Chain A
């Protein structure tokens, strides 16, 4: 990891998003939550996308979700990640609704759609606590709706 280049990719910590980063440091996933309609949002935004209320609190949420999809990057693109190739990027659907780009800690060789995941917290290459996800064992389930039997 090119730490200097990676540091430039990180979001600035601002007054508006500091509770999220404080949550990461405390080992909790905290999201903005609308005080009028309870809609969660990520990343932080100026208004509730559901009811347009400007009023929100920060709530600690479940930290659970599902693996919507993933890909493996083989191309050098960001200098920060040049030494990490190939690396996996995951797209997580949080149980509370919002989607997050993240990475998986020690992913198994075979991944499944909609596999349960759980947020885990730890320092990145710069020492900043960040959220990643770990996949939970898959329980045998019926095929997901929308799947086609062939």
Chain B
């Protein structure tokens, strides 16, 4: 959908570094969400009572409304705590504002995945999951490992092909004061990283953490009276690929391409016009699948495309400038949305992309979504 008259006006997020440092804390996700929401409200100058739409992810809407004293939103519900929902929640916020169901929509997300020792996938999956776990099949990372093993064999990909992505994310994380990991790594450290689900290494995995993210979405007319320059949603599109496993026979290529075709046509923008990319990186191979599906890199050779500096901070298409899920924190895509806003506003500090006027968010998963953000 073309959402040119809708904007993100306020963003908030936890200090993921501080939360990670204190491992044994007992935290209330609703409290973390409220903190992020307060920061997002301060960011745009709105008050809590201006919110009339509330979209909760990994949070129950009833408890959330009660905790923050938001009794009568005109639109409210919650979404499951999966990474694919960050893109979906922004799409809903845009549609809600455009349809007039609500004027100011707050999107909130929180997790205490680290402090409660949460495992993703595995035993808490759907009714057919036991047919997989009985063979030792574990989680989403293992499914991405299956896809990456096949990708490697199909395209003759060397063992260290993900190193540029791991190094890039850590380099960017080192320039993000909120990132969990703020230390750069080199090729030797990457290749020395132990296997989890081989061929995937520990450094290919996202960092489970506690934290929260919030952003405020409203009409562009209303956005013009806010504290900061509005970040427009130039366009957004989605397409699911649903089956019994977290895997796709073509690594989500057709679904990504279907989303890309609509998004690029509707916005009149294409990969060459993108100044900065925020790619959902639950595990690093997902970045390769995404870049190919969205036509940033040729099919079968994204691993070469990312190795030549293009994705670096001074390259033509900087990638995951906050450090992404493998360095900043695994916030299931929500924090990548916030980073898109901060880059477009020029608020990204040491990791700021020069002349950043368009940012694309992309998520290759059972629900593929992508948005292009712009700033006036």
Contacts and interface: CB of A to CB of B under 8 A. Distances in A.
A10 B130 contact: yes
Interface residues of B, number: 38
Interface in B174-214: 194-200
Nearest to B142: A71
B244 to A, nearest CB: 7
A107 to B, nearest CB: 13
Contacts of B146: 68-71, 89, 91
Contacts of B198: 71-74, 86
A94 interface: no
Contacts of A87: 136
Interface residues of A, number: 39
Given A72-B195, A91-B247, A10 B134 contact: yes
Interface in B280-302: 300-301
A39 interface: no
Interface string A68-104: 1111111101101100101101110000000111110
Interface stretch (A27-35, A57-65, A142-150): A142-150
A15 interface: no
A73 B244 contact: no
A99 B246 CA distance: 12
B58 interface: no
Interface of A: 6, 9-12, 42-43, 68-75, 77-78, 80-81, 84, 86-87, 89-91, 99-103, 112-113, 124, 130, 144, 146-148, 150
Interface of B: 119, 122-123, 128, 130-139, 142, 145-147, 149-150, 153-156, 194-200, 243-245, 247, 249, 300-301
27 contacts: A9-B123, A9-B133, A9-B134, A10-B130, A10-B134, A43-B131, A68-B146, A70-B149, A71-B142, A71-B197, A71-B200, A73-B138, A73-B197, A74-B195, A74-B196, A74-B197, A77-B139, A78-B138, A86-B195, A89-B137, A91-B146, A91-B247, A100-B131, A101-B137, A102-B135, A103-B136, A147-B154
